[in-house]
């Protein structure tokens, strides 16, 4: 709050906020590369065209920067899943589309998801991260829940579990798949697809 960040707001269209986003995006890449424990402000700066001192011009301290990163990740996250699974005609198609979507997300950006799980774990130790992490978790849970309720609609039934339980299931499957995928297990993605598609019928009734 006492940093330069809180005071300055001269240029009308927020070039200031743009630069913050740019720096945060670079920080997210660094976090995905190295993990929270090994990411310093200087290594973050090396992922940008700027020097390390600039980070303290735009962020009060490291916690504020990482917190901003979490929020930024959330923005990209909800945007990605917002236009989700809408064009499935049958229940089985929807389950398959959901499974393919999750497997594709894992296959295309495993490091980003690794970073998400890292940040979520950090929130267990750093209360400053908790609120934003919980919000992301909520939006992911809602994303899953939209799929489950859509499946139930197509199947002419009602969900038989809570949104939290459904999210726990798919999140657990996704995390295990990530672990195995990063350990170079070839079947990880296929197993994830199967593991996601299969339980749908059991979640409604």
Partner DNA sequence: CCGCCATTTGGACGAATGTCAAGATTTTCT
Partner DNA sequence: AGAAAATCTTGACATTCGTCCAAATGGCGG
Residues near a copy of itself (CB under 8 A) are 34-38, 114, 117-118, 120-126, 130, 133-134, 137, 160-162, 164-165, 167-173, 175-176, 178-179, 182-183, 191, 195, 198-199, 202
d(CA 148, CA 161) in angstroms, rounded, equals 10
Which of DNA, a copy of itself, none is residue 104 near (CB under 5 to 8 Å by kind)? none
Q: Which is nearer to a copy of itself, 101 or 195 (CB)?
A: 195
Question: Residue 131's CB: how many other CB atoms inside 10 A?
Answer: 12
d(CA 42, CA 55) in angstroms, rounded, equals 9
Binding mask 1-40 for DNA (x = CB under 7 A): ---x---x-xxx--xx--x--------------------x
Output Rg (C-alpha) for the chain, integer angstroms: 19
Which of DNA, a copy of itself, none is residue 118 near (CB under 5 to 8 Å by kind)? a copy of itself
Residue partners of 169: CB distance under 8 A and separation at least 6: 199, 203
Q: Are the beta carbons of 85 and 150 closer than 8 angstroms?
A: yes
Binding site for DNA (CB under 7 A): 4, 8, 10-12, 15-16, 19, 40-43, 49-57, 60-63
């Amino acid at each position: 709050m006492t940093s330069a960040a809180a005071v300055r707001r001269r240029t009308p269209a927020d070039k200031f906020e743009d630069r913050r986003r740019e720096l945060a995006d670079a920080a997210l890449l660094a976090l995905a590369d190295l993990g929270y424990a090994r990411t310093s402000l200087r290594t973050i700066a090396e992922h940008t065209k700027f020097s390390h001192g600039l980070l303290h011009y735009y962020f009060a301290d490291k916690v504020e920067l990482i917190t901003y990163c979490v929020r930024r990740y959330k923005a990209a996250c909800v945007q990605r899943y917002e236009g989700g699974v809408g064009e499935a005609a049958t229940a089985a198609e929807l389950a398959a589309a959901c499974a393919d979507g999750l497997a594709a997300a894992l296959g295309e950006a495993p490091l980003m998801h690794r970073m998400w799980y890292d940040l979520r774990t950090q929130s267990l130790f750093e209360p400053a991260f908790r609120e934003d992490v919980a919000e992301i978790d909520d939006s992911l849970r809602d994303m899953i829940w939209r799929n489950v309720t859509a499946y139930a609609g197509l199947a002419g039934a009602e969900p038989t579990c809570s949104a939290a339980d459904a999210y726990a299931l798919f999140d657990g499957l996704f995390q295990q798949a990530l672990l195995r995928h990063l350990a170079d297990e070839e079947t990880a993605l296929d197993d994830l697809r199967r593991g996601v598609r299969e339980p749908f019928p059991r979640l409604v009734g």
